[in-house]
């Protein structure tokens, strides 16, 4: 969901004040932690997920520009991301996510089939 600045300020005055006072790097770190803690099942990739798949700063810039053109991120958010890429590089968003990352994470989760309380002796030939 996207709000313009004034609407956000009106609806969430305390959060707006907190964000205005926040250090830009602290906000980026919070986003990274949120991205790292996403559950794998049902995960919908966001801009950070896409950027972390980029191998170079140029690839990351292309991703940001593409998402801005599609309207998936705001002009202001894209400027913030571009600035961070230019000043600190693509790895400032977190480690590289390689092909198969989410599959590997999903395989770590236990797979439960049927009722866990079933008696093992029920399955006899």
CB atoms within 10 A of CB 78: 19
Token code pair at residue 119: 């008696």
Query: What is the torsion angle, in degrees rounded to the nearest 10, for the CA atoms of residue 6, residue 62, residue 95 and residue 19?
Result: -10
Q: Is the separation of the CB atoms in 70 and 1 below 8 Å?
A: no
Query: How confident is the model at residue 38, as a pLDDT?
Result: 47
Query: How confident is the model at residue 37, as a pLDDT?
Result: 46
Query: How confident is the model at residue 39, as a pLDDT?
Result: 46
Query: What is the torsion angle, in degrees rounded to the nearest 10, for the CA atoms of residue 68, residue 33, residue 51 and residue 6?
Result: 10
**pLDDT tens-place string over residues 1-43:** 667 778 888 888 888 777 777 655 555 555 555 544 444 555 6
**pLDDT tens-place string over residues 32-90:** 555 444 445 556 778 888 899 899 999 999 999 999 999 999 999 999 999 999 999 99
């Amino acid at each position: 969901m996207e709000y313009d600045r004034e609407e956000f300020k009106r609806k969430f005055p305390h959060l707006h004040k907190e964000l205005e006072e926040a250090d830009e790097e602290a906000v980026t770190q919070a986003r990274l932690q949120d991205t790292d803690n996403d559950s794998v099942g049902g995960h919908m990739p966001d801009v950070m997920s896409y950027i972390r798949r980029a191998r170079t700063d140029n690839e990351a810039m292309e991703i940001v520009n593409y998402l801005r053109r599609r309207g998936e991120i705001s002009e202001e958010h894209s400027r913030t991301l571009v600035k961070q890429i230019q000043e600190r590089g693509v790895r400032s968003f977190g480690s590289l996510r390689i092909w198969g990352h989410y599959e590997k994470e999903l395989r770590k989760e236990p797979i439960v089939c049927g009722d866990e309380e079933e008696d093992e002796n029920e399955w006899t030939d």
